[in-house]
Amino acid sequence: MSAVMIYNNGTQTTKCPSFGDKENRCNQLFQWILDNYDGIWHLCTPGDGQAVIFKDKVDYSYMMTLIAICSYEFKNLQIITFEVMSNHLHILMCGSRDEVLAFHDMLKRKLRMYFTKLGNPVDLNRFGCANVIPADSLDSFRNQIVYINRNNYVVDPDHTPFSYPFGANSYYFSPFAYLRTNGTFGDLFIENRRKLVHSRNIDYPDSWLLFDGYISPLNYVRFDIGEGIFRDARHYFHKISRDIESYKEVAALLGESVYYTDDEISTIIFRICKQNYNCEKPALLPSNAKLELARTLHFDYNADNKKIARFLKIDKAIVDEHFPFRR
């Protein structure tokens, strides 16, 4: 645990930073970012209507390398975190909005060239329609990081927010992740460097660390900023695993539908039962209260009809009758 050293009459003592000390440090860092950069931006390409882009590990690995390449070209941008999904991208950056958009244009152009060279052109029209929203407060900044770092976890039951390999999420507050390297870019023969970046241009740092077939996020993601925005590792863990309500705000700003895991929906249901109905579990609710709770789950938490029927023990035909457009 970090500590503040205090000397009284030559005696050294240790005092753990208080909640206020930690929060003040986070606020100072946030203010430093605002003073030194032209904003904090969450760039998200739409998943709705976009066909699968990254079909296998080779595609994902190239996208990881491509983000590193574009980051190298845009040195005024600082990447805080990102996550590559099968058909869209989330990335959080500090810098000017214009440069964020230019970064995205380069990413799209090089990605199109990659698929064309493979003889497998992919429709990237939706990928090109990026949504860019600001993180204009400390809480918003934290929520954006958490929203991105848990993005795959909510749709893939085989991963936690700490295990998904195609993003920066697994490095957050994980010192062992810093040991995951397979040599450097300079270790590769020239032909292998060209294969890695899919270009004859290999004018990139020899010191770049490699991992599992791509350029490691350790080379270009500002984990010092991303982690520093949280009071400590425990605060981050709480936000990413328990602070369920914070995700709704980000999803609304992005125009996305927020998704919750079964465990999160269960937590929401039991909390609402206790707070709104003074009831221990949904099975004890009267029918009218169950339907009212079903509406809350449908409209506020994007739960599908099967999930509502299963958790509230309501006949699915009744749920379908109330919400006919989401079966």
Q: Which of 91-95, 114-118, 243-247, 260-264 is predicted with the least confidence, judged by mean pLDDT?
A: 243-247
Q: What is the C-alpha separation between 108 and 176, in angstroms, rounded?
A: 32
Q: What is the pLDDT of residue 325?
A: 63
Q: What is the pLDDT of residue 50?
A: 83
Q: In this predicted model, what pLDDT tens digit does every residue of 266-298 receive, in sequence order?
A: 888 888 888 898 888 888 888 888 888 988 888
CA angle 54, 55, 61 (to 5 degrees): 55
Number of other CB atoms surrounding residue 261 within 10 Å: 14
DSSP structure class, residue 209: B
Residue with the bigger pLDDT between 104 and 242: it is: 104
Q: Which of 258, 274, 178 has the alpha carbon at shortest distance from 219? A: 178
Q: What is the pLDDT of residue 121?
A: 82
First-last CA distance in the chain: 49
Q: Under a CB-based contact definition with an 8 Å cutoff, are residues 153 and 164 in contact?
A: yes
Residue with the bigger pLDDT between 315 and 72: it is: 72
Q: Under a CB-based contact definition with an 8 Å cutoff, are residues 294 and 311 in contact?
A: no
Question: Average pLDDT over the chain, rounded to whole?
Answer: 89
The residue length of the chain stands at: 327
pLDDT for 143 beyond 90? yes
Number of other CB atoms surrounding residue 176 within 10 Å: 8
Q: What is the sign of the dihedral through the CA atoms of 113, 104, 189 and 203? A: positive
Q: Under a CB-based contact definition with an 8 Å cutoff, are residues 315 and 305 in contact?
A: no
Q: Which of 19, 98, 42 has the alpha carbon at shortest distance from 249? A: 42
pLDDT band, residue 5 (cuts 50/70/90):
very low
User: Whole-model pTM?
Assistant: 0.82
Instruction: Write the DSSP assignment of 155-203 as a string of letters.
Output: T-TT--TTT-SSBSGGGTT-GGGGG----BGGGS-HHHHHHHHTSS---
- Find the mean pLDDT for residues 140-144: 95
pLDDT for 327 beyond 60? no
Q: What is the C-alpha separation between 288 and 63, in angstroms, rounded?
A: 50
DSSP structure class, residue 258: P
Single-letter amino acid, residue 32? W
Q: What is the pLDDT of residue 239?
A: 92
Q: Which of 104-108, 198-202, 256-260 is predicted with the least confidence, judged by mean pLDDT?
A: 256-260
pLDDT for 320 beyond 80? yes
Q: In this predicted model, what pLDDT tens digit does every residue of 34-43 receive, in sequence order?
A: 999 999 999 9
Q: Under a CB-based contact definition with an 8 Å cutoff, are residues 150 and 65 in contact?
A: no
The pLDDT > 70 percentage for the chain reads: 91
